[in-house]
């Protein structure tokens, strides 16, 4: 891997010319708003980014001004926008920063949008920033049932794990549809990106026999966001860590079970204290997995859920198998 | 895996299967997370913040257990148990944690360099 640093917009234009001539290879491009990052020197930024670019053939870093850093990387194998977001979020955000990683890095396919990027460059930095805002890759999102945003009323601000009557009705309607879902819906509530990534990878490797579909997995790091997703999607299975960014997983599981005693909740934690176990039992959680876990433990949890669902009529899912 | 290695990747590899790309990504995320945890632990020591100390030692322990950094996980468990220990005791624990984190990061770097 070769990493080259530049410090002006002309260099960025030159590299885009190179992109133009090599259209057979995937190019990615990202903008980092440097003022959201830890106090960091240009060299430290390169050192921090180097591990990420290890598998790329070539990476350019452009320090355009004090606020912006642009990255261009050449990778013949895969788009790496999502891991890049996660990496920057984990490595460079200040601990106090409340802004999500998606707010500090915009990632675009430099090959697909080449002409627009070139045109934007000619108009200057302001237009270039606007271009990123416009064509940034949207994160994938899936919802089977349309959600009325007005249902979010009352959920902003401080942690309020309550539901309005409309939210409750909506949630219970989704629960009735669970058995007809083509894909299992899962929610991972975990505040460390490493642990998020590991568990999500396990869950997404599972196939359901009947339709060979992978589960849909949502992931979040905090109680409040988890509560919103819970109300919006009524996940089939919820995996909850106990130490979360904005409080204890016990608080979340208690609220979830109060709204729906049938919610299937698995605690995943490094805690092994009897006290924690007894709290989890009092909250009627459906499973308790200690770290380190193995694939079979996760698999068994899903199978138990499917067995319970199978006992209800009009059963829609099959049994899972590992891919 | 040599006996004195600070990491045992058997469980991690069993979970993710043969997936060098994911493995490298997880290593990088682990390194970033340990960096953050050590910073938070130093801050908790400076600010006499036992709550933060307990939270971070616990979080770091969880990461280590999933990665297979068993010695570091044990050290974190010890650190967690020493949440209300005197400052000089916790300072020594911090030094040990830094050293063991460095050992793990070095081991991961070596593995990532392998073809």
The ipTM, to two decimals, is 0.91
A195 → closest Cβ in B28, B40, B63: B63
> Per residue in A148-200, pLDDT tens?
444 444 333 345 688 888 888 889 888 888 877 878 899 999 989 999 999 99
Q: How many Å is the Cα radius of gyration of chain B?
A: 15
Contact A86 B55 (CB under 8 A): no
- Closest residue of chain B to A48, computed from CA coordinates: B32
- The answer, yes or no, to whether residue A317 has pLDDT greater than 60, is no
- The distance of B88 to chain A (nearest Cα, Å) reads 26
pLDDT value, residue B45: 94
B29 → closest Cβ in A54, A86, A205: A86
* Alpha-carbon gap, residue B17 to B9, rounded angstroms: 11
The confidence band for A272, taking pLDDT boundaries of 50, 70 and 90, is: low
- The answer, yes or no, to whether residue B33 has pLDDT greater than 70, is yes
- Residue B47's contacts (CB-CB under 8 Å, 6 or more residues apart) are none
Q: What average pLDDT does the structure give for chain B?
A: 90
Contact A198 B15 (CB under 8 A): yes
pLDDT value, residue B2: 40
> Per residue in A43-60, pLDDT tens?
777 777 776 776 677 888
Higher pLDDT, B73 or A114: B73
Residue B86: CB atoms within 10 Å: 9
pLDDT value, residue A136: 61
- The answer, yes or no, to whether residue A138 has pLDDT greater than 60, is no
- The distance of B56 to chain A (nearest Cα, Å) reads 9
B58 → closest Cβ in A90, A270, A294: A270
Q: Residues of chain B whose C-beta is under 8 A from some C-beta in A?
A: 11-12, 14-17, 21-22, 24-26, 28-33, 35-36, 39-40, 55, 58-59, 61-63, 65-68, 112
- The distance of A292 to chain B (nearest Cα, Å) reads 5
- The answer, yes or no, to whether residue A261 has pLDDT greater than 50, is yes
> A39-48, A54-63, A241-250, B17-26: which has the highest mean pLDDT?
B17-26
Q: Is some CB atom of chain B closer than 8 A to the CB atom of A54?
A: yes
Q: What percent of chain B has pLDDT over 90?
A: 75
- Closest residue of chain A to B109, computed from CA coordinates: A51
Q: To the nearest 10°, report the CA torsion of B33, B36, B37, B40.
A: -160
The confidence band for A104, taking pLDDT boundaries of 50, 70 and 90, is: low
- The answer, yes or no, to whether residue B18 has pLDDT greater than 80, is yes
A194 → closest Cβ in B55, B63, B68: B63
Q: Is some CB atom of chain B closer than 8 A to the CB atom of A51?
A: yes
* Alpha-carbon gap, residue A49 to A46, rounded angstroms: 5
- The answer, yes or no, to whether residue B53 has pLDDT greater than 70, is yes
- The answer, yes or no, to whether residue A206 has pLDDT greater than 50, is yes
Contact A95 B36 (CB under 8 A): yes
pLDDT value, residue A288: 87
Q: CA A232 → CA A212, A273, A288, A305, distances in Å?
A: 25, 33, 25, 20
Contact B62 A192 (CB under 8 A): yes
> Per residue in A226-240, pLDDT tens?
999 999 999 999 999
Higher pLDDT, A165 or A41: A165
The confidence band for A146, taking pLDDT boundaries of 50, 70 and 90, is: very low
The confidence band for A132, taking pLDDT boundaries of 50, 70 and 90, is: confident
pLDDT value, residue A89: 65
The confidence band for A281, taking pLDDT boundaries of 50, 70 and 90, is: confident
Rounded to an integer, the average pLDDT of B55-65 is 92
A65: exposed, middle or buried (C-beta count within 10 Å: 0-12, 13-18, 19+)? exposed
Q: What average pLDDT does the structure give for chain A?
A: 76
Q: State whether residue A72 is helix, strand or coil.
A: strand
pLDDT value, residue B68: 94
- The distance of A156 to chain B (nearest Cα, Å) reads 26
- Closest residue of chain B to A85, computed from CA coordinates: B29
Rounded to an integer, the average pLDDT of B75-89 is 91
Query: B87-113 vs B50-67: helix axis angle to the nearest 10?
Result: 30
The confidence band for B67, taking pLDDT boundaries of 50, 70 and 90, is: very high
pLDDT value, residue A278: 77
The confidence band for A13, taking pLDDT boundaries of 50, 70 and 90, is: confident
Q: What percent of chain A has pLDDT over 90?
A: 16
pLDDT value, residue A210: 58
* Alpha-carbon gap, residue A85 to A81, rounded angstroms: 6
pLDDT value, residue A91: 63
pLDDT value, residue A60: 86
- This prediction has a pTM of 0.62
pLDDT value, residue B51: 86
pLDDT value, residue A145: 40
């Amino acid at each position: 891997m070769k990493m080259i640093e530049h410090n002006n917009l002309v260099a960025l234009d030159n590299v885009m010319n190179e992109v133009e001539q090599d259209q057979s290879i995937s190019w990615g491009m990202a903008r980092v708003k440097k003022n959201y990052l830890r106090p960091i020197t240009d060299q430290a930024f390169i050192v921090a980014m180097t591990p990420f670019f290890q598998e790329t053939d070539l990476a350019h870093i452009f320090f355009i001004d004090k606020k912006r850093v642009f990255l261009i990387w050449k990778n013949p194998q895969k788009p790496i926008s999502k891991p890049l977001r996660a990496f920057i979020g984990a490595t460079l955000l200040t601990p106090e920063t409340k802004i999500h990683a998606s707010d500090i890095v915009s990632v675009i396919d430099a090959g697909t949008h080449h002409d627009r990027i070139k045109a934007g460059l000619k108009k200057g930095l302001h237009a270039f920033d606007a271009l990123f805002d416009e064509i940034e890759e949207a994160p994938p999102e899936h919802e089977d049932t349309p959600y009325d945003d007005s249902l979010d009323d009352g959920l902003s601000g401080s942690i309020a794990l309550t539901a309005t009557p409309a939210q409750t009705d909506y949630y219970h309607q989704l629960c009735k549809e669970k058995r007809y879902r083509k894909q299992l819906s899962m929610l991972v509530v975990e505040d460390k990106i490493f642990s998020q990534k590991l568990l999500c990878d396990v869950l997404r490797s599972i196939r359901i026999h009947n339709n060979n579909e992978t589960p849909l997995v949502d992931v979040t790091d905090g109680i409040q966001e988890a509560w919103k997703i819970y109300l919006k999607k009524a996940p089939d299975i919820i995996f909850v860590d106990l130490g979360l960014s904005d409080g204890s997983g016990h608080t979340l599981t208690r609220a979830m079970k109060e709204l729906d005693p049938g919610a299937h909740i698995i605690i995943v934690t490094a805690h092994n204290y009897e006290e924690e176990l007894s709290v989890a039992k009092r909250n009627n959680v459906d499973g308790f997995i200690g770290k380190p876990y193995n694939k079979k433990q996760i698999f068994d949890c899903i199978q138990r859920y499917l067995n319970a669902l199978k006992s209800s009529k009009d059963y829609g899912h099959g049994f899972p198998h590992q891919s | 895996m040599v006996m004195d290695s600070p990491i045992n990747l058997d469980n991690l590899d069993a979970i993710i299967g043969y997936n060098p790309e994911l493995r490298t990504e997880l290593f990088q995320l682990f390194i970033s997370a340990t960096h953050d945890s050590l910073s938070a632990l130093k801050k908790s020591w400076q600010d006499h913040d036992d709550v933060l100390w307990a939270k971070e030692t616990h979080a770091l322990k969880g990461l280590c257990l999933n990665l297979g950094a068993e010695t570091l996980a044990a050290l974190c468990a010890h650190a967690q148990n020493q949440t209300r220990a005197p400052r000089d005791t916790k300072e020594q624990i911090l030094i040990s944690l830094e050293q063991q984190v460095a050992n793990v990061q070095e081991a991961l770097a070596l593995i990532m360099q392998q073809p």
